[in-house]
Copies of this chain bind each other. A is one copy, B any other.
Amino acid sequence: MKEECGVVGVVVQNNASTGTPTALQIYYALYALQHRGQESTGITIHDGLHCKSIKGMGLVPEVYVKKDLLELKGNVGIGHVRYSTTGHSKIENCQPLIVNYKSGTIAIAHNGNLANYSLLRDELELEGRIFITSSDTEVIAHLLVKELLRHDPVESISNVIKRLKGSYSLAILIDDQLYALRDPLGFKPLCVGKLDGGFIVASESVAIDTLNGTLIREVSPGELLVFKNDSFESHILVQEKYHAHCVFEYVYFARPDSIINGKLVYNVREKIGRELAREHPVKADSVSPVPDSGITSAIGYSYEANIKYSEGLMKNRYIGRTFILPGQAMRETAVRLKMNTISENIKDQRIVLIDDSIVRGTTSRRIIDMIRRAGAKEIHARIGSPPIIAPCYFGIDMGTRNELIAAHKTVAGVEAVINADSLGYLSIEGLVRAIGIEKENLCLACLTSEYPLDIPGEYCPRRQLKLNEFS
């Protein structure tokens, strides 16, 4: 599974008082959100008259140079880190997306995915509109500009939201005015914090921590924030009965030190481990994580099961872009470059191996084979999420249904493929308990095949969003 995107917006009343230029604050915040996207990044600052940007392919420290960053003067700006599938990895798609329209400039930083992107784009193309990027953010920009011709920004955004079906946490600049918007189902996280002399919105609370700010609260699903002098207005544009918070933010994506929907991710992961221990107990000598995402759950399992926690796998902290020649020996080398066994913690042991999820099963197989070669007596795989049986239409790159091993195989079948002595997936109920949010407010579509939104060809039990039926 791959990460998705991170967004940031910062506005300060008086730059001079804080000492830190807005562009630099966004830069540090993006550093804290780097785990949400390593492919490209951009910062856009508005100085009251104009909008200036720095964008580039690569990591935050690769794209930004101090001198250039300090030249982005202004009190308000937004930023973005991006992950995308290879085909669309181009500089043109790098965000924030800046568009000029009748009355000025709009900049948009977007985390999420529009499920009705194709329909909206077709509709817009039928009007003769053109698309320069291949991202759904450009669709949002078109819709927003159409509204802004007739309405004020809040009403415009309110109208746009009715057309969008999918996930979107947005930081928007309309000229030098900062807005933050979270989709009505609240798929993706978005929170707001207080800075010295200003405010920050960000995908995760760690960005606020990094700037020594204070988390105020999360943006509510369907809520629009408009940032004013010394305050921000809240507009509840849509209020759904139920929400659809993505569970994989807890299982895998978010940083453990982030608070999402009121829950500290670290705590959820530890509880996942405890739930797993209760659901799938096994006699073993040690509990060992697949680093890094399995570490906290392994600690939880260890406490609950009262089995020793130990590190059987060590991750290479320095692994970057590498290249591999064809051949089996090379593929094994590729795995070993990333992870190595600590044989004394494995040899002759019965090991509970904690991983966050299984997508295709190939990586799990390679890791388990490596542990076996290091002399493990038994390997009991315990997975911190239920079987993934359906694709995600809301921004997580899990691959197609065809590629998902659990869409085609029973647990026993997966166990055989990954070569484990036993395999236990966390139950849906266990996951829901660990998260601590009622099931109705979570998106479990990839685990249940029941979608919170009407997706063509998929089952949507609620159909609660009757707003946009394009059939």
Most buried by B among A66, A212, A256, A342: A342
Determine the distance from Cα of A354 to Cα of B92 in the docked complex, in whole angstroms.
46
Using an 8 Å CB-CB cutoff, how does the interface string of A379-399 with B read, 1 for contact, 0 for none?
A: 000000000000000000000
Using an 8 Å CB-CB cutoff, how does the interface string of A337-349 with B read, 1 for contact, 0 for none?
A: 1001111110000
Most buried by B among A28, A142, A264, A332: A28
Whether A299 is near chain B, meaning CB under 8 Å from some CB there, is yes
Among the stretches A177-185, A323-331, A433-441, the one at the interface with B is A323-331
Determine the distance from Cα of A311 to Cα of B292 in the docked complex, in whole angstroms.
13
Among the stretches A125-133, A164-172, A235-243, A422-430, the one at the interface with B is A125-133
Determine the distance from Cα of A196 to Cα of B328 in the docked complex, in whole angstroms.
14
Chain B residues, CB < 8 A from A106 = 130
Whether A75 is near chain B, meaning CB under 8 Å from some CB there, is no
Chain B residues, CB < 8 A from A102 = 122, 125-126, 128
Residue in chain B with minimal CB distance to A92: B92
A212-B332 contact, Cβ under 8 Å, with A316-B32, A325-B19 = yes
Determine the distance from Cα of A92 to Cα of B94 in the docked complex, in whole angstroms.
11
Q: Interface range on chain A: under 10, 10 to 19, 20 to 34, or 35 or more?
A: 35 or more
Residue in chain B with minimal CB distance to A144: B130
A99-B132 contact, Cβ under 8 Å, with A28-B333, A211-B333, A264-B344 = yes
Chain B residues, CB < 8 A from A18 = 329
Whether A194 is near chain B, meaning CB under 8 Å from some CB there, is no
Contact B130 A19 (CB under 8 A): no
Contact A210 B333 (CB under 8 A): yes
Among the stretches A110-118, A302-310, A408-416, A459-467, the one at the interface with B is A302-310
Whether A420 is near chain B, meaning CB under 8 Å from some CB there, is no
Whether A267 is near chain B, meaning CB under 8 Å from some CB there, is yes
In chain A, residues 286-324, which have Cβ atoms closer than 8 Å to a Cβ of chain B? 292, 295-296, 299, 303, 308-311, 314, 316-323
Chain B residues, CB < 8 A from A38 = 318
Determine the distance from Cα of A62 to Cα of B62 in the docked complex, in whole angstroms.
12
Whether A279 is near chain B, meaning CB under 8 Å from some CB there, is no
Contact B145 A130 (CB under 8 A): yes
Contact B266 A311 (CB under 8 A): yes
Chain B residues, CB < 8 A from A337 = 28, 31-32, 210
Contact B316 A34 (CB under 8 A): yes
A373 to chain B, nearest CB (A): 9
A105 to chain B, nearest CB (A): 10
Contact A314 B31 (CB under 8 A): no
Contact A130 B126 (CB under 8 A): no
A319-B266 contact, Cβ under 8 Å, with A98-B132, A149-B128, A314-B257 = no
Contact B309 A309 (CB under 8 A): yes
Determine the distance from Cα of A209 to Cα of B101 in the docked complex, in whole angstroms.
43
Determine the distance from Cα of A145 to Cα of B330 in the docked complex, in whole angstroms.
38
Contact B126 A149 (CB under 8 A): yes
A-B contact pairs, 27 of them (CB 8 A): A18-B329, A19-B330, A20-B329, A31-B318, A31-B337, A32-B316, A35-B316, A38-B318, A59-B320, A61-B322, A66-B323, A97-B132, A101-B130, A102-B122, A130-B142, A209-B336, A209-B341, A210-B336, A210-B337, A210-B340, A211-B333, A212-B329, A257-B340, A264-B344, A296-B311, A299-B309, A309-B309
- A contact residues vs B (CB 8 Å cutoff): 18-20, 24, 28, 31-32, 34-35, 38, 59-62, 66, 91-92, 97-102, 106, 122, 125-126, 128-134, 138, 141-142, 145-146, 149, 196, 206, 209-212, 255-257, 264, 266-267, 292, 295-296, 299, 303, 308-311, 314, 316-323, 325, 327, 329-330, 332-333, 336-337, 340-345
User: Closest 3 A-B residue pairs measured CB to CB?
Assistant: A61-B320, A34-B318, A102-B125
